[in-house]
Chain A
Amino acid sequence: MGAEVRQAKRIGLLYDGRASTFCPGCEHGLLLKLIARALEELGVADRAVMVGTVGCSSLGYLLFDSDFVQAPHGRAPAVMAGIKLVEPDAVVFAIQGDGDALSIGLQELLYAADRGIPMTIFMYNNMTFGMTGGQMAPTTIPGMRTTTTPRGRDVKLSGSPIDACRLLSAIDGPAYLRRAILAPRPLRVKGKIFYSAREALEAYRIVLNAFRAQLKGGFSFVEFVGTCNVNWRMGIDESKAFVHEVGAKYFPPGLCRDIYGLEGGGKV
Chain B
Amino acid sequence: MTAELLRGAEAIGLAALMSGVEAYFGYPITPSSEIMEFMASEQGDPRFPRYRAFVQASSEVEAVSMLMGAGAAGHLAMTATSGPGLSLMAEGISHAYVAEIPFLIVDVNRGGPGLGTTEPEQSDYLFVTRSLGHGGSRAIVLAPEGVGEAMELVNRGFRLAFEYRIPVVILTDAIVVHMRETVDVPELRPVLDGVPPWAVRGKRGRGTRNALTTGFLDSRELKEFKEGLERKWRRISEREAYYECHMCDDAEVIYVAFGISARVAAEAVRELRGRGTPAGLFRPITLAPFPSGALARLRGRGIRFVVMEMNEGQMYRDVREALGPDEDVESIPMMGGIVTRSEVS
Contact = CB atoms under 8 A, between A and B. Distances in A.
A75 B202 contact: no
Contact-size category for B: 35 or more
B99 A85 contact: no
Interface of B: 22-23, 25, 52-53, 55, 57-59, 61-63, 65-73, 75, 77, 91-92, 95, 99, 101, 200-205, 209-215, 217
7 contacts: A46-B204, A51-B69, A68-B210, A70-B214, A83-B69, A85-B70, A108-B65
Interface of A: 21, 45-49, 51-52, 58, 61, 65-72, 75, 78-87, 89-91, 107-108, 110-111, 115
Most central of A21, A45, A52 by chain B CB within 10 Å: A52
A80 B210 CA distance: 16
A79 B68 contact: yes
A67 B213 contact: no
Contacts of B61: 75, 78, 107-108
A9 B79 CA distance: 42
B202 A66 contact: yes
A84 B66 CA distance: 10
Contact of B212 (A69, A81, A108): A69
Contact of A85 (B23, B201, B214): B23
Most central of B55, B62, B91 by chain A CB within 10 Å: B62
Contacts of A87: 73, 75, 201-202
A52 B55 CA distance: 22
Contacts of B70: 82-83, 85-86
B57 A78 contact: yes
A67 B55 CA distance: 24
A111 B58 contact: yes
A67 B57 contact: no
A45 B206 CA distance: 12
Contacts of B211: 61, 67-69
Contacts of B52: 85-86
Most central of A51, A79, A107 by chain B CB within 10 Å: A79
A46 B212 contact: no
B209 A66 contact: yes
